[in-house]
Amino acid sequence: MSKEKTKNNSKKTKPVENTTPHGDAQRGTGGELHQSAEGTQHPALTTNQGVALSDNQNSLRANPRGPTLLEDFILREKITHFDHERIPERIVHARGTGVHGFFELTASLKQYTTARILTEAGERTPVFTRISTVAGGAGSVDTPRDVRGFAVKFYTKEGNWDLVGNNVPVFFIQDAIKFPDLIHAVKMEPDRGFPQSASAHDTFWDFISLTPESMHMVMWIMSDRTLPRSLRMIEGFGVHSFRLINKAGESTFVKFHWRPKLGLQSTIWDETVKIAGADPDFHRREMFEAIQAGNFPEWEFAVQLFTQEEADAFPFDHLDATKLIPEELVPLRVIGRMVLDRWPNNFFAETEQVAYCPSHVVPGIDFSNDPLLQGRLFSYLDTQLSRLGSANFHQIPINAPKCPFANHQRDGHMQMAQPAGRVAYEPNSLSENSPRETPIKGFRSATVPETGEKGRIRAESFADHYSQARQFYLSQTAYEQAHIASALVFELSKVEHMHIREAMVGHFRHIEEDLAKRVAVGLGLEKMPNAPTTAAPILEMQPSPALQIIGKMKSTLMGRCVGILIADGSDGAVIKKIKKAAIDAGASVKIVAPKVGGAKLADGSMLAADGQLAGTPSVLFDAVAVILSDDGAKALSMEGAAIDFVRDAFGHLKAIALDKGGQALLQAANIAPDAGVVDVNNKDAFLAAAKTRQWEREKSVRMLA
């Protein structure tokens, strides 16, 4: 945003009188006002002890690309306060779904690491995986436009390893010191308590408009990646670079990836909104039902391995969490698989009480100097101490290692063990059986030299905020680009302040001029805003097809669900035929009828229904078949839920199979058939169309940016 716009905006904004009993104290040292770089006056930003901050953007590091220092009391105070703002619900990732399963290593990385979880091919390790939304509370819906957390706890032979990531490979910010600001901005606005689980409001986009480093992540969150069809159809990423350490003490950088066996699939925005109303627990229920049916979710586990020398040649800094390493640059190596096969016995005891910490690693795995990761190493443990109320949270069964563990940490709130013996320290000479360090096999950090001057400064290699954002956008199909532009128009149309909308369009001009124009037109801007000054040149990176969803969708009905709408008088033979074909192709099938008891078929038999029409709309299915008698079609043509059933299925680009009665209902809904609407007797054509969406139909059913 330009200085002139900032000044004009400050003149139009009426200052709010501070009526708190600590009015002057909240203004900073002595309650003085300080002049900002833009020329306006603001209270000094201070610590809770009144110490004015010179830099609220960067943690204290040993050198520009070095590790974050424990002495950074500003970072620790800010993160600690943030971690303790909510109890007992998680501040972020409050709404989650957890499932037990196992990890099986299929290819050893013995050359790179001593971690047995990554070297003993063929071994199966128990895991507990929790997938969650970020912004909403525990009582929010499953399907908002949001990032999904993807956290896996490996109960290894050498201790617990927590790989805590997301379904998006990058993040909003480069430094952990900004995390409280990010979450405060996206959460419900504090003066009104809404919106819940939504980013379409002023505080979020105000923060983003002033944080250019977020532009790559903005492309991801506005893409279809944040509207997953199923939790079984999302990728997972460790986000940060980690280190693997081998027997010789040599380290190799690594990025971790989870790839779903069912492939990627997302919903359409209008569909997502309606799913939230039809079934707020859609994702959780779908996962539960799949596991109950024995359709266990599965992911490939893959790594990107690279050396320091290779990293130095990248046109970006891999320690920057707002960047990814394209698969075309460093290919993925599949080394294992994860299968989730058992639902928790008790949701609270396991899914709610599970505690993940990125600092939980095993010998052979270590950390990089990613400043966002460095802050998380402190923050997650501190958060668990607050949420679970005790330093003994590791004794809760879902958190306890499945290998032996022993130390001298005694007592504390909710101590469940009964440590015996006289000594609780090491070294000691009074006990032969007390635990001691194991220099040879114990955890060792990578021996990496660190030199330079400590300070609150970000490396120059972190300055490029637009190149990968542009690469992501240009890598999408035309349909996905339209969805991104339309999502941005929707979100920014909810923003009240014009200068925020204009600032965002200015940023988009650096990503792609056509994107900026589409959003500007959608927002009704009379002229294009100026693009902000860039801190680094924008590189022209090759598009990466691996970043698409449509291009990566698998041509399969595995994991998909087909809904069959019936009524009294429907043809049972046709229903049986289409149901069998869908099940044989790998789909699940649900029968929908006007009444929950089912319908009396043409031969006089009763067919039970899995769902009542009014409560089981077509948004819950990937494809639908409508099999009706003439009388049934006539009756349903007067029923709004039936009209919505076929209209939404068509509008959400789904395949539709029809008999004569189904065709009559489609006509009553004023829908002109296309290639995705087929005769129910042509089951092969229906199954082929059901494996994807009818993307060409979209331009005829809705206006996109």
Residue 10 has pLDDT above 60, yes or no: no
Confidence of residue 123 (pLDDT cuts 50, 70, 90): very high
Residue 86 has pLDDT above 80, yes or no: no
Give the mean pLDDT of 174-188.
97
The 3-state DSSP class for residue 291 equals helix
| DSSP secondary structure string for all residues of 551-609 | GG--S--TT-EEEEE--TT--HHHHHHHHHHHHHTT-EEEEEESSTT-EE-TTS-EE--
The whole-number pLDDT of residue 20 equals 34
Phi and psi angles of residue 424, each rounded to the nearest 5 degrees, phi first: -140, 45
The whole-number pLDDT of residue 74 equals 85
Confidence of residue 34 (pLDDT cuts 50, 70, 90): low
Give the mean pLDDT of 685-700.
96
The whole-number pLDDT of residue 436 equals 85
Residue 673 has pLDDT above 80, yes or no: yes
Rounded CA-CA distance 73/49 in Å is 11
Confidence of residue 83 (pLDDT cuts 50, 70, 90): confident
The larger pLDDT score, comparing residue 611 to residue 444, is at 611
Confidence of residue 413 (pLDDT cuts 50, 70, 90): confident
Sign of CA dihedral 674, 679, 682, 686: positive
Most confident of 76-80, 328-332, 427-431, 437-441: 328-332
Rounded CA-CA distance 533/535 in Å is 7
Q: 10: which 2 tokens?
A: 């400050």
Give the residue from 78, 86, 81 showing the smallest Cα distance to 178.
Answer: 78
The whole-number pLDDT of residue 633 equals 97
Q: Annotated catalytic residue: which of 93, 360, 465, 507?
A: 93
The whole-number pLDDT of residue 33 equals 60
Query: Bridge partners of 52?
Result: 46
Measured from the Cβ of residue 348, the count of other Cβ atoms closer than 10 Å reads 8
Rounded to the nearest 10 degrees, the angle between the axes of helix 202-209 and helix 179-186 is: 140
Domains in the chain, please, with CATH? 73-395 (2.40.180.10), 465-550 (1.20.1370.20), 555-701 (3.40.50.880)
Give the mean pLDDT of 339-357.
96
The whole-number pLDDT of residue 417 equals 87
Residue 491 has pLDDT above 80, yes or no: yes
Asked if omega into 144 is within 30° of 0 (cis), the reply is no
Q: Are 290 and 508 in contact (CB under 8 A)?
A: no
Rounded CA-CA distance 255/240 in Å is 7
The whole-number pLDDT of residue 483 equals 98
Q: Annotated catalytic residue: which of 58, 166, 369, 392?
A: 166
Please report, as a single letter, which amino acid is at residue 384. Q
**Cα-based distances in Å from 65 to 186, 203, 322, 369, 376:** 28, 31, 15, 7, 17
Alpha-carbon torsion angle 219, 221, 222, 224, nearest 10: 110
Q: What is the DSSP letter of 618?
A: G
The whole-number pLDDT of residue 87 equals 55
The 3-state DSSP class for residue 189 equals strand
Mean model confidence pLDDT for the chain? 92
Sign of CA dihedral 243, 248, 250, 253: negative
Q: Based on the number of CB atoms within 10 Å of its own CB, is 326 exposed (0-12), middle (13-18) or buried (19 or more)? A: buried
User: Is 93 one of the catalytic residues?
Assistant: yes
Give the mean pLDDT of 509-527.
98
Give the mean pLDDT of 413-428.
87
Give the mean pLDDT of 347-351.
94
Confidence of residue 6 (pLDDT cuts 50, 70, 90): very low
459-469 burial by CB neighbour count: b if 16+ within 10 A, else e? bebbbbbbbbb
Give the residue from 299, 314, 310 showing the smallest Cα distance to 256.
Answer: 299
pLDDT tens, residue by residue, 125-139: 999 999 999 999 999
Rounded CA-CA distance 30/42 in Å is 13
Residue 38 has pLDDT above 80, yes or no: no
The whole-number pLDDT of residue 433 equals 86
Give the mean pLDDT of 158-186.
97
**Cα-based distances in Å from 431 to 221, 406, 419, 586:** 56, 14, 13, 61
Residue 275 has pLDDT above 80, yes or no: yes
Rounded CA-CA distance 133/234 in Å is 12
The whole-number pLDDT of residue 19 equals 35
Residue position matching structure tokens 């009665």: 661
Q: Based on the number of CB atoms within 10 Å of its own CB, is 343 exposed (0-12), middle (13-18) or buried (19 or more)? A: middle
The whole-number pLDDT of residue 36 equals 59
Give the mean pLDDT of 309-332.
98
DSSP element (H, E) containing 255: strand 251-260
pTM assigned to the model: 0.90
Q: Are 688 and 657 in contact (CB under 8 A)?
A: no
Confidence of residue 340 (pLDDT cuts 50, 70, 90): very high
Residue position matching structure tokens 């639908």: 624
How remote is the C-alpha of 49 from its chain's centroid? 36
The 3-state DSSP class for residue 475 equals helix
Where does 187-281 have alpha helices with state H? Answer: 202-209, 215-221, 269-278
Q: 666: which 2 tokens?
A: 């489609």
The whole-number pLDDT of residue 329 equals 97
Q: 142: which 2 tokens?
A: 């499953």
Q: What is the DSSP letter of 352?
A: I
Measured from the Cβ of residue 539, the count of other Cβ atoms closer than 10 Å reads 13
Give the mean pLDDT of 261-288.
97
Where does 13-151 have alpha helices with state H? Answer: 73-83
Where does 28-175 have alpha helices with state H? Answer: 73-83
Confidence of residue 47 (pLDDT cuts 50, 70, 90): confident
Q: What angle do CA 187, 138, 401 make, to 5 degrees?
A: 110
The whole-number pLDDT of residue 44 equals 80
